[in-house]
Amino acid sequence: MKKIYFSLLAMALMAAPAAAAVCSYGTVYGSYLSYGGSDLKDDGWSSTAYLNVGDCNANAVEIGLGTTTIHYDTLPDLDQKDITIAYTNTNQLLSNQILRAGFHYIDSDDTQTDKGKIYFLKDTYSVYNDWNAGLEIDYSNYRHSATKLGVIQFTPHYGVFLSAFNRRIYAETRFHYIHKDAKVGESIDNFYSMEQVLSLKEGNMDYKLDGWAGQQAFAVKNSGFVVYNLADRYLGGPGGGNRL
């Protein structure tokens, strides 16, 4: 696994633009996981290290390394490591369009999804500081396991900037369609959901509120950085946060 990490990291750094001006930033964050009401899971935690390197203009490479532990009531604990690499091109290859492609790899104790490979591609047409619309396609390949599972996800999205209370608020609506092609977890194979995101930038702080309703399984979220690879069905919920 270490060889894979270092190989992917080297590829990402070589793909970073060789420009005179370099813009980069990184962060490390963690979270506590609570499964109140679950008859199977108790709690857990996760942490992620994130790095973004670009040329301050059109190109950017993102790298994320994550680890997750989930404690079960009667089963052995689950330990998982994730690596994500993505490249974004803004308004260079195609006018007014943001093109993003990446890869997510899973090293997990879960035998159904260990060595999972997730590929994602996103195209967004954007009118700066006004509106944008696009489509993200994610393919999750777990076919090395006995389940031979493949999952495809389509996420069309539309975002617009609104004026309210003398501030600019960004609102984005996303529709998720997920199809799995093997009988793993839930008996149904098609999942539909709708997500709404509101965000506000105030000084150096970013604030976000979001929520979604419907059904999801094996979902790819957060632009490829979060993959729900366990055979669980989710029914929606609210969220939020702030970032410096």
What pLDDT does 10 receive? 53
Predicted pLDDT of residue 242: 65
Distance CA 172, CA 144 (A): 36
d(Cα 161, Cα 169) in Å, to the nearest integer?
6
Task: Choose among 182, 206, 195: nearest CA to 239.
Answer: 195
Strand partners, 33: 44
The pLDDT of residue 19:
47
* pLDDT, tens only, 75-107: 899 999 999 999 999 999 999 999 999 999 999
Domain 2-243 class? Answer: mainly beta
Q: Give pLDDT < 70 ranges for the chain.
A: 1-20, 241-244
pLDDT of res. 145: 84
Could you list the beta-strand ranges (E) of the chain. 23-34, 41-54, 59-72, 78-90, 97-108, 117-127, 131-142, 149-164, 167-180, 190-202, 205-216, 220-221, 226-227, 234-243
Residue 104 φ then ψ, to 5°: -130, 130
pTM of the model: 0.87
